[in-house]
Chains A and B, each alone.
Chain A
Amino acid sequence: MHAPVTGEVLCFIRRHGSAPASGSEFNSLALRLFAFQFEKNVLYRRFCQMEGVLPSTLKDWKEIPAMPAAAFKELVLTTFSSRKKKRVFRTSGTTFREVQGGAAIRGAHYYETLAVYDASILKPFQKQVLLGGVFAFYFLMPSAADAPDSSLSYMMDVVNRVFARGRGRFYVRKGKPDFAAMLQDLIKERRKVLILSTAFALKGFLDHLEEKNAFLKLKLGSRLMETGGFKGRTHEIPKKTLYRLCAKRLGIPVKNCVSEYGMTELSSQYYSTGGGSFTAPAWMRPMVIDPRTGKECAHGHTGLLKHVDLANVGSVMAVQTEDVGRMRGKGFEVLGRALGSEARGCSLTYERFLRSSG
């Protein structure tokens, strides 16, 4: 038996899958959900108390205390008994902060039900990625069977089931991408193609095409969805360069390249097209926070991204990330991580020391 607020969120998502929600509608549901999480999630309640915020004093969703994303690595954040969990998604354990000091510390997001999660995937994906087209789906990432605790693989599984009737092909098996097979299949492909990949794997595939001196001309209207960035890996390349390479090697124009911004700690996704800003579905709100003051930055100013995601019903709806970004137009852009960008002198920070000795 799920909490009534779960049903409310589900209705909200279904109602506003394509249509925007008014500010007051969002605010009202956000405050009700906050009150629910404050009551049921003991650790979050304690966190809010430390921040001096109570449901009775809150008027605006912007004031909802955001739990640092790192908390998912250290605490079990649920509004239900963790014994009732239906699914646990874990972070990849590949970012620097997760691996420093030895063993990877992976964040975990517990779900009592996936109904809200599934609902939050479909409409935005349809609207931003498919644009009403019919495609052959090429997944350059593991399937949910191969990576059962990956939220991204789960999402792709849902997409495959709903939009590709389960006929999409996955080209990462047991952690290894099969670029050669994907290339062979794409050469033979006569339909419009949708390639779904992590940015890192996509770069690997583009390198493979370069090695083979291959230039594909995928059917007009083919599209790309990339996600996940490079997770602190050393050979990071700018998104524009990645898209230009896709146009050159795959024949997918930049305007057909979509970027997805999601994280295990959230249950919904943002999308951007052609390198533009990321836009949110109606049940999600991004904010940019000044790390020095903890207050919202003025539009266009750089700070840390905070997300309020109503689909995070069973955990915490407000999550503070360490991603640096700024609001742009009606959405936001991600600028990466700014650690160590200033001149530091000859002092070795302990963090840098660990990195070099790790």
Chain B
Amino acid sequence: MSARERASSLGALSKKWMNRDFPYRRRALERLVTRSGFSKRMAGEILDGLFSELKEAGLWRLLRAELKDPAVLDGFVKDRPASRLVRARGPRTILHVFPANIPNAAVMGLVTGLLLGSWNIAKVSRRDEGILPLYLASLKSHDKALWKTCLLIRSRVEAVAWAKKAELAVAYGEDRSLVEIRRHLPAKTPFVAYGSRVSLALVLREALSKKNAVLLAKKTALDVWRMDQRGCLSPVLVFAQKGGTVSAKDFAKLLAQELERLEKSEDSKPRRGLSQSLAARRLHDALQLQLLKGAAAAFWKSGDGLWAVGYDEKIDGEYASGAQVIRVKGFGKLSELEETFQRMSGALQAVSLECTASHRKKLAEWLSVFGVNRICRAGKLQKPPVTWHHDGRLNLANWLTWTDLER
């Protein structure tokens, strides 16, 4: 099967997943709600966001973006700058170790392996195997030949056994898990590790006009809400510059209002545990203490307590975030953020940046110094294009083995 044929088949399957009546989609939605704890609306958006990018055109775009000529996967093609012919082959077997609770990463990873024509061993988490088993079941009825190149495993022992045989291992997880997986791989087996990361929103004062602020708050709220603030693209900190027509503190309030609005419009609620309530409580307490000390601070909690937004102007120091808690930090000059960004470099993922067009490129340069690998507009954080350099790397080009044919 050629790369084009594989992209075409996988793209057609994605189209089916976009259909509201597709039985596998319906079951996936149910699973995302009951097992993974997302709300119904969140689950729908997760599937739409994922499969709209995995249509044939998107997959072809990914192949072209990374390989220039995707025919390189099927035979030798010209590499003009190097005056040679090149051929690329995917690994014979890829061991994928997928995380609990992040459904889209698993499907995206598997599809990438399938595009390359590899055998894919997919280890899912026992705690929450996500939607991958359903995706594979849908693949079986859609394209049996492709389905036959996949094997779903659940046990650690099996994963360790496959680690010895795989030509590539791709894993997602916390540093501790990644180190553990690497330990089981032969020395020369390439290992692609996607770790936990932080994303941010950065709003400059010029974007905080009366006209713009409400819309911006709405978009930022969507970025927070779409993955229930669990993904590496979920903003956990919002840096808002003081001195705009709408103050940074008022912007935080608008954000809290928008999250409350989203909460009210939900037909099901995302699941919350004690640690999330604790995080909100801790934020509330911390900000109240700042207020007692005379510092600028504020706290808002949505009606059902699903979301908490805190505002303060302490750029460094102790503060909790994540766990459905959003910190808005008011700042004066960009230079005030440097120390914090420096500390976060290596863990930074994406930044939604709102400023004037003339500032945008210069700020992007500055952010890239701290290892930010994606800069987008507010509202787009959770909708990365399939061509995004995830964790700042090529997605599939690095997985290949290349053969050069010189003259």
Contact = CB atoms under 8 A, between A and B. Distances in A.
Interface in A64-109: 68, 70-71, 74-75, 97, 100-101, 105
Contacts of A294: 281
A338 B322 contact: no
B322 A349 contact: yes
B102 to A, nearest CB: 5
A42 to B, nearest CB: 10
Contacts of A97: 318
Contacts of A302: 274
A291 B281 contact: yes
Contact of B286 (A70, A105, A338, A343): A70
Contacts of B344: 350, 353
A351 B289 contact: no
Contacts, number: 142
Contacts of A338: 273-275, 278
B341 to A, nearest CB: 12
Contacts of B195: 346, 348
A348 B198 contact: yes
Interface in A285-304: 290-294, 302-304
Contacts of B397: none
B322 A350 contact: yes
Interface in A142-162: none
A59 interface: no
Contacts of A71: 285, 289, 292
A52 B327 CA distance: 25
B197 to A, nearest CB: 5
Interface string A299-318: 00011100000000000000
B112 interface: no
Nearest to B198: A348
Contact of B101 (A68, A291, A345): A345
Interface in B231-288: 231-232, 234, 236-237, 272-282, 285-286, 288
A94 to B, nearest CB: 16
Contact of B288 (A68, A100, A290, A340): A68
Given A47-B288, A356-B175, A350 B196 contact: no
B287 to A, nearest CB: 11
A346 B232 contact: yes
Contact of A345 (B231, B237, B277, B318): B231
B134 to A, nearest CB: 19
A357 interface: yes
Nearest to A293: B305
B135 to A, nearest CB: 18
B164 interface: no
Contacts of B199: 347
A347 B285 contact: no
A345 B229 CA distance: 9
A71 B102 CA distance: 37
B323 A344 contact: yes
Nearest to B274: A338
A322 B278 contact: yes
Given A68-B288, A68-B289, A75-B293, A350 B278 contact: no
A68 to B, nearest CB: 4
Contacts of A19: none
B194 interface: yes
Contact of A320 (B229, B279, B285): B285
Contact of A74 (B229, B273, B275, B293): B293
A304 B237 contact: no
Contacts of A344: 101, 196, 230, 322-323
Given A341-B273, A343-B127, A346-B105, A43 B321 contact: no
Interface string B310-354: 000000111111110001000000000000000110010000000
Contacts of B175: 356
B227 interface: yes
A354 B344 CA distance: 9
Contacts of A342: 273-276
Q: Which of A343, A348, A354, A357 has the most CB of B within 10 A?
A: A348
Interface in A233-275: none
Nearest to A97: B318
B363 interface: no
B293 A350 contact: no
Nearest to B323: A349
Contact of A348 (B100, B320, B347): B347
Contacts of B292: 43, 46-47, 50, 71, 74-75
A339 interface: yes
B99 A292 contact: no
A345 B323 contact: no
A46 B293 CA distance: 10
Contacts of B347: 348, 353, 357
Given A101-B317, A348-B197, A353-B347, A341 B274 contact: yes
Contacts of B101: 343-345
A350 B321 contact: yes
Contacts of B293: 74-75
A318 B229 CA distance: 34
Contacts of B99: 345-346
B137 interface: no
B343 A339 contact: no
B275 A339 contact: yes
Given A101-B317, A304-B278, A320-B285, A351 B128 contact: no
A70 B197 CA distance: 28
Contacts of A68: 285, 288-289
Contacts of A127: none
Interface in B174-211: 175, 194-199
A167 interface: no
A217 interface: no
Q: Which of B197, B289, B293 has the most CB of A within 10 A?
A: B289
A352 B293 CA distance: 26
Q: Which of B99, B278, B320, B327 has the most CB of A within 10 A?
A: B278
Interface of B: 99-102, 105, 127-128, 172-173, 175, 194-199, 227, 229-232, 234, 236-237, 272-282, 285-286, 288-289, 291-293, 305, 316-323, 327, 343-344, 347
7 contacts: A50-B291, A75-B292, A292-B281, A304-B281, A343-B101, A346-B172, A350-B237
Given A348-B322, A353-B344, 10 more contacts: A47-B292, A75-B293, A292-B277, A303-B274, A322-B278, A340-B323, A341-B273, A345-B227, A346-B197, A348-B198
Interface of A: 43, 46-47, 50, 68, 70-71, 74-75, 97, 100-101, 105, 290-294, 302-304, 320, 322, 324, 338-354, 356-357
6 nearest A-B residue pairs (beta carbon): A349-B322, A345-B230, A348-B196, A68-B285, A291-B281, A291-B277
